[in-house]
Amino acid sequence: MSDEEVRRVSDAIKAVEQIADVEQRVKAKSQIMAAQVERNKEWSRERSALIRELWDDGAGLSYRQIADRLGIKLSTVQDVFRDYKGSGTTRPKAQKPEASDG
């Protein structure tokens, strides 16, 4: 995918945001959001598969290298290996290790 294709999609979204009639604008946005829900699931699966392929069970790129290469956050890469699929606002808190009586 080229930068040009990304720009065209962005321009199309901006055009929807510029629809003068508020009812028509909201209707168009709603249609796009509904379609994107399904698309996001597939896009997420594809991204996760590529992340795992690039990591190659530890023999490939590091998490940070994968994040840099794909232009995503390191936490997104980490979440793939944690099988976490929610938003950052609902991410469960990390468990602190329990102290042992040794």
pTM of the predicted model as reported, rounded to 2 decimal places: 0.68
| Nearest alpha carbon to residue 48 among 78, 90, 86, 87 | 78
- Token readout for 6 is 């990304």
- Token readout for 43 is 């896009």
- Tens digit of each residue's pLDDT (9 = 90 or more) over 75-98: 999 999 998 876 655 555 656 555
- Tens digit of each residue's pLDDT (9 = 90 or more) over 5-54: 999 999 999 999 999 999 999 999 999 999 999 899 999 999 999 999 99
**Is 99 a domain residue?**
no
Question: Quick one: CA dihedral 12, 16, 18, 20, positive or negative?
Answer: positive
**Is 4 a domain residue?**
no
- Token readout for 18 is 């510029």
Amino acid type, 24: Q
- Domain with 53, as residue range(s), is 10-84
| Nearest alpha carbon to residue 44 among 88, 83, 92, 93 | 83
**Is 75 a domain residue?**
yes
